[in-house]
Chain A
Amino acid sequence: MSRTDQRRRRVLRAVAPVAGLLAVGLLVWQGSYAAFSATTNNTGDSWATGALTLQNDAGTGTYAGSTSAVFTETALKPGSTNSKCITVAAGGTTGGTLKFYRGAVTGTNNPAALSAQLTTTIQATAVLAAVPSPAVGVNCANFPAVGISTITAAGATLSSLPSTYAAGLGSFVVPAGARWVTYKITYTFTSTGSSAGDNALQSSDAAADLNWEIQ
């Protein structure tokens, strides 16, 4: 072996650790350069590709992240009942688990007691790979009679519905790509069982968001 060869070999040996560590430094620098700056938050609709998206149509066929109420129920009395339908659309390059939960129950007068008398049943279709057709209107015209599941427990009330994703109802496994699930939400104002109890609910009101989340 010539001395040149030996020298080259020694140089290369000395360079190798330097090159390896420089590459580490590059990764660390590249990682830290952008990731932790305070200004890189995506806001509004400008989320990155590959993200999950979730929207609902409030029964209108037009999808948005936040839609206005389907239930605006006035003049309730024991026995009052109504059903509304909402289709939720999920999209993105990753899948997730879709669950339903309610927002906080609010109100100006006795919302807790009223929401405990609003017996709620939620039914859902399977995860659909196409927009429901014919369209399911807000009043549940065309809500299918078969292939649906009831995701609430018997006797569930607006009050007892879960309010977090972790406890959420449904747990539909949604694969990547565009998917739809239609929900039918039915409430019945159930009597407390006594006139005095029912009368205590006079002039009461309750309000809540209906939430869907995919993770």
Chain B
Amino acid sequence: MTVTLEHVEQEPDQLTPPPYSKKLLFGGTLGRIWLWFVAGCIAVTIIPMLFGWRPYVIQSGSMQPRIKVGDIVIASPNHDPKVLLGHVTVFQDPEHPSRVKTHRVIRIAEDGQLVTKGDANQSADSVTVRVDKVRGIGRLMVRYAGLPLVWAKTGQWLYLFLFGLSLYLSALIVAKDREPYEYDEDPEKDPEDDDALETELATDTAPVVPRQRQSPQEAPQQSPQAAPQPAPKEARLLGMDRRALKRATRRLALRSTVLLVVGLMLALPTARAAFAAVTKNTANSWTVPNWNYTNEVNALSPYLYWKLDETTNVPAADSSGHNRPGTYTLATSSTFAQSFTQNVLGGLVTDTPNRGVTIKLDSCINSATSVASIAGQANITVIAWIKGASGTNGKVVGFEKPQTGVLVPSNGTYDRMLYVDGTGNAWFGVYNTATSRSNLRP
């Protein structure tokens, strides 16, 4: 069918221009513009590399709207913070050393490092950039020229394919849209003498020749048409060989060009302009005060607080502030030195002075006679630091009726006694006759 139609158009006496002329002219021009445009983009990207500038394809959008995904930023080496300040800077990402990032330097930190930020980000990047990690300062930008690479990296194969196809089709159509005399594939013409053809065309006398690209299979159908202009068989064969060679060469060149273009674009380094945002909950604090034992005890509002850190035979001071001192009361028929050893160190490691007293024999410290007696309490709390030794025993603290010293059973009543029994047990008991007592041994 098609062949028949073509035959009609190719009537030798019909001097109409070849059927492709307008459309092909238009397509060819578009194709040329497109190819020149792509080639120009590549040239602009590649040529600055001669001066040591480097192109970077932007892969993400944190520099929008100034720099979009797929733009190529061409940067020249620069490590001067003063110059970089305020400018788009390409640097090695301090958080991902294998990646390159393109952000703007917004200020210089006190330590001389660069604080960077994406124009579209709400806050500065969380890690500052060392000046020696800077690859360069943005000098030139080619809008969208890196899109094919972005498509390749992000798997947008359809776009990439369409781009490749557009290049291929452009190349094809440009190859087709040539001056008529360039059509060496015409089987009816001897293509050896292009100059002769040109002369023919220039005189405008030559009949328009069919310009149909012809496959060998179609040749026999064409042959009746071609019969009026026979060509020597050898010459024709020779011509076919040359044509085939030319075609193959052209195809190879075309494919190499497309491959080269794609290859060059894929080989360009990429830079991230990463979106990022930070939120902070600031200045959380944890504080340990200077824990002081005296303060802690007094925080409990004790009735009285004897530290027993005296070094001489003076009344035991009340540290609670209630002025309820104690009296060092000697054991019967003994000296003070026999009853007490004062200034025993190592009681409380954090308390200063760090002193205690060893109570021996039947000696004790009882509340001074100046201290009014108190009524029996339903609840009492006793805190005492004691250090027992093997075999030592005795009362630690308790209520007794006389204020005059160690109680003997005949001497009065006693109650709420905390005492240790010499085997490591601490007991708490109440009057009378030990009806209730608790073992406090931990």
Interface residues of A (CB under 8 A from B): 1-3, 5-6, 8-9, 12-13, 15-17, 19-21, 23-25, 27-28, 30-32, 34-36, 38-43, 45, 47-48, 50-56, 58, 64-77, 86, 88, 90, 92, 94, 96, 103, 107, 114-115, 118, 158, 164-166, 187, 189, 195-196, 199, 201-215
Contacts and interface: CB of A to CB of B under 8 A. Distances in A.
A158 B275 CA distance: 28
B282 A65 contact: no
Contact of A206 (B41, B141, B286): B286
B358 interface: no
B17 interface: yes
A30 B204 CA distance: 47
A103 B284 CA distance: 10
Given A12-B25, A50-B61, A209 B122 contact: no
Contacts of A48: 64-65, 119-120
B44 A28 contact: yes
Given A20-B39, A47-B120, A52-B277, A39 B286 contact: no
A202 B295 CA distance: 14
B276 A27 contact: no
Nearest to A2: B17
A195 B28 CA distance: 89
Residue among B142, B275, B281 having the largest count of chain A Cβ atoms under 10 Å? B281
Contact of A47 (B122, B283, B288): B122
Interface string B251-264: 00000000000000
B158 interface: no
B350 A199 contact: yes
Given A20-B35, A51-B122, A66 B25 contact: no
Interface in B96-142: 96, 104, 106, 117-123, 126-127, 138-142
Contacts, number: 265
Contact of B277 (A27, A28, A213): A213
B21 A209 contact: no
B142 A27 contact: yes
Interface in B270-305: 274-291
Interface residues of B, number: 77
Contacts of A35: 63, 66-67, 71, 73, 88, 138, 141
A107 B285 CA distance: 9
A114 B179 contact: no
Contacts of B204: 3
A209 B283 contact: yes
Given A28-B142, A215-B275, A20 B284 contact: no
A65 B180 CA distance: 70
A77 B291 contact: yes
B281 A56 contact: yes
Given A27-B41, A50-B120, A166-B96, A5 B283 contact: no
B185 to A, nearest CB: 18
B300 to A, nearest CB: 15
A118 B285 CA distance: 11
B37 interface: yes
Contacts of A164: 95, 126-127
A183 B349 CA distance: 40
A75 B289 contact: yes
Given A52-B277, A203-B288, A212-B278, A20 B32 contact: yes
A102 B283 CA distance: 11
Contact of B25 (A8, A30, A41, A65): A8
Nearest to A97: B276
Residue among B25, B33, B41 having the largest count of chain A Cβ atoms under 10 Å? B33
Contacts of A13: 29, 32
A31 B140 contact: yes
Contact of B120 (A42, A189, A209, A212): A42
Residue among B28, B71, B120, B284 having the largest count of chain A Cβ atoms under 10 Å? B284
Contacts of A1: 17-18, 21, 180, 201, 208
Interface string B6-38: 000000000001100100010011001111111
